[in-house]
Chains A and B, each alone.
Chain A
Amino acid sequence: MTVAADERIAHVGTARRLLIRPELGAVVGLVVVFVFFAAQSPVFRSPAGIANWLDPAATLGIMAVAVALLMIGGEFDLSAGVLTGTSGLILVTLATRFGFNVWLAMLAGLVVALAVGFANGLIVTRTRLPSFIVTLGTFLMLQGVNLGVTKAITGTVQVSGLRRAEGFEGASALLAGTVAVGGTSFRVAILWWILVTAVATWVLVRSKAGNWIFAVGGNEQAARAVGVPAARTKIALFMTTAFAAWLVGSILALRYTSVQANIGIGQEFIYIIAAVIGGCLLTGGYGSAVGAAIGAVIFGMADKGIVFLGWDADWFTFFLGAMLLLATLANRLVRRYAEQVRH
């Protein structure tokens, strides 16, 4: 029978195979956006310019990659943005108001962040409620806690003065420093972002856990039926997102040495958008970490490129919406192709 079926199926060429890579849309977008800005702004294409737009790409990229893994696993985390604020606030508050060493304060922030991720995962897997709702709940709760606690301790909506805390120099060099490459200084966050992307990609395509992530996002019941620990996989993914939020929160807190209590609000959608531009399906089961990282670069380019061209920064959201629409349209075509059933 398959012989007969074969004759009716056109040969799947290498070109077609490449076309259905999840990153394809993002790569095309990357080239288009780069050419657009680089053609008009010499600063944009200079090493200093590149260092400039890679910086926002890095902190966004760390989050987008973690969120991409979670989305491939079939879930959302709306609390990820505000959790970067929570982690940063814990770090600065403990180090400046309670005399903690910076490293110890960071550890405390990590513990809290992982606990929030664990709670998100546990509630989602136990109740089977949509993660969109569950994490919307934790998002609002954390937003309240961030403001309430900060106001109660400092009387204002920010904590500052991290520079004077013990252990600041070392932690700052590790997470918020710069690296000189050919006379241009790049933020060290870029290295962390590349590391996170590399590890995430390895996990996704070369580890057992990666197979499970695709499976729980693609069809949770089927995955469970063949023995995949679906709940554990999902909880681990929520904790990974929380870990990324802690890393980004710490990077930003060390860089600015102060944290606003409302930081990170609204960022959660940017992470999701970057992941979707990178080829993640909103329905789960498909996507790529590299794609999400590229999605973040597109954002960084547009964010800074608009400034380099001297445009009004308001145009950024227009660009954001247009990219999102184009990316989801491209994704839908991919899904149609992949799910096409031939009886």
Chain B
Amino acid sequence: MSAGPLLETRGIGKTFGSVLALREVSMSVAAGQVVCVLGDNGAGKSTLIKILAGVHRHDAGAYLVDGEEVRLTSPRDALDRGIATVYQDLAMIPLMSVWRNFFLGSEPRKGLAFDVARARRVAREELRAMGIDIRDVDQPVGTLSGGERQSVAIARAVYFGARVLILDEPTSALGVKQAGVVLRYLARARDRGLGVVFITHNPHHAYPVGDRFLLLNRGTAVGEYGKDDITAQELTALMAGGAELEELAHELRRE
């Protein structure tokens, strides 16, 4: 495994018409590392991951995969380079079974046909290997809980040889327990040597699992910290815009 970063951005930027959605953001992720991208709504998190995932093309700065500059043409292009993205709300198709979702877009072939028997078996085995206990791979994904769905999506990305896993707010819609389950699979993917980009607005989810923390605000990076440089409290304070939070606390205090 090379020591260099799997994925890197240098001063990357993106405008939509007259809106500067993202400017001058530099970050990198190496194998076995979890980089957390934190920011409030509208901070530019979505734009950043969409560039990383090949959905949007950046129009400033450089995007490097394995140290080489690239311009991704599509999500498929990103996948082919080993960059897999798990989106918050559109990770799965609710009416389709777990195994159909698992292999969607990368169906195993047997002659002309989709090797259905193999798809079922592999989906079951892979989920079990990640410690995900799915009752029945034939059930529609819509009947799974939010945490289970995210976990299936992560297992899927790992199986298909992702080297970098981008997770878009995987825990934000979940209860405490379910979020913990997703974080555990995230850590398991990291232990398998994947680079993980974990997008969240919750520092309590980011801190335990992250190695580096990139803070975004209003489309630009406002700080990057290693785990040793910062405590969970400091991270939380930074996230909320420290001064603002103090002011709020003051405001809310009982008279």
Q: In whole angstroms, how far apart are the Cα atoms of A227 and B180 in the complex? A: 29
Q: Which residue of A lies closest to B173 (CB)?
A: A343
Residues of chain A within 8 A (CB-CB) of B76 are: 227
Tell me if B94 and A211 are in contact (CB < 8 A). Answer: no
A181: Cβ under 8 A from any B Cβ: no
Residues of chain A within 8 A (CB-CB) of B146 are: 341, 343
Give chain B interface residues in 229-255, CB to chain A under 8 Å. Answer: none
B104: Cβ under 8 A from any A Cβ: yes
CB-CB contacts of A1-42 with B at 8 A, as 1s and 0s? Answer: 111011001001000010000000000000000000000000
B63: Cβ under 8 A from any A Cβ: no
Q: Which residue of A lies closest to B91 (CB)?
A: A222
A111: Cβ under 8 A from any B Cβ: no
Tell me if A1 and B147 are in contact (CB < 8 A). Answer: yes
B60: Cβ under 8 A from any A Cβ: no
CB-CB contacts of B82-106 with A at 8 A, as 1s and 0s? Answer: 0001010011111110001001111
In the complex, how many angstroms separate the beta carbon of A74 from the nearest chain B beta carbon? Answer: 11
A118: Cβ under 8 A from any B Cβ: no
Residues of chain B within 8 A (CB-CB) of A109 are: none
A292: Cβ under 8 A from any B Cβ: no
Interface-facing stretch out of A84-92, A138-146, A202-210, A242-250 = A202-210
Give chain A interface residues in 91-126, CB to chain B under 8 Å. Answer: none
> Given that A206-B116, A218-B96, A340-B142 are known contacts, is A227 also in contact with B178, CB under 8 Å in the complex?
no
Contact among A1, A207, A214 for B93, CB-based, below 8 A: A214
Q: Which secondary structure characterizes the binding site on chain B? A: loop
Tell me if A343 and B175 are in contact (CB < 8 A). Answer: yes
A151: Cβ under 8 A from any B Cβ: no
Contact among B87, B100, B174 for A225, CB-based, below 8 A: B87
Residues of chain B within 8 A (CB-CB) of A339 are: 94-95, 140, 142
A61: Cβ under 8 A from any B Cβ: no
Give the B interface residue count (CB, 8 A): 47
A128: Cβ under 8 A from any B Cβ: no
Tell me if A1 and B100 are in contact (CB < 8 A). Answer: no
Tell me if A224 and B100 are in contact (CB < 8 A). Answer: no
Tell me if B107 and A211 are in contact (CB < 8 A). Answer: yes
A317: Cβ under 8 A from any B Cβ: no
A219: Cβ under 8 A from any B Cβ: yes
Give the A interface residue count (CB, 8 A): 37
CB-CB contacts of B112-149 with A at 8 A, as 1s and 0s? Answer: 11101000000000000000111110111011111110
Tell me if B113 and A343 are in contact (CB < 8 A). Answer: no
Residues of chain A within 8 A (CB-CB) of B135 are: 6, 9, 12
Tell me if B107 and A1 are in contact (CB < 8 A). Answer: no
A338: Cβ under 8 A from any B Cβ: yes
In the complex, how many angstroms separate the beta carbon of B89 from the nearest chain A beta carbon? Answer: 9
A192: Cβ under 8 A from any B Cβ: no
Q: In whole angstroms, how far apart are the Cα atoms of A221 and B109 in the complex? A: 24
Residues of B within 8 A of A (CB): 53, 55, 74-76, 79, 85, 87, 90-96, 100, 103-107, 109, 112-114, 116, 132-136, 138-140, 142-148, 174-175, 177-178, 180-181
Residues of A within 8 A of B (CB): 1-3, 5-6, 9, 12, 17, 202, 205-208, 210-212, 214-215, 218-219, 221-228, 285-286, 335, 338-343
Q: What are 26 A-to-B residue pairs whose CB atoms are below 8 Å?
A: A1-B181, A2-B132, A12-B139, A207-B113, A208-B114, A210-B114, A211-B96, A211-B100, A211-B107, A212-B105, A215-B93, A215-B96, A218-B93, A218-B96, A219-B92, A219-B94, A222-B90, A223-B93, A225-B85, A227-B76, A228-B105, A285-B93, A285-B95, A339-B140, A340-B143, A342-B145
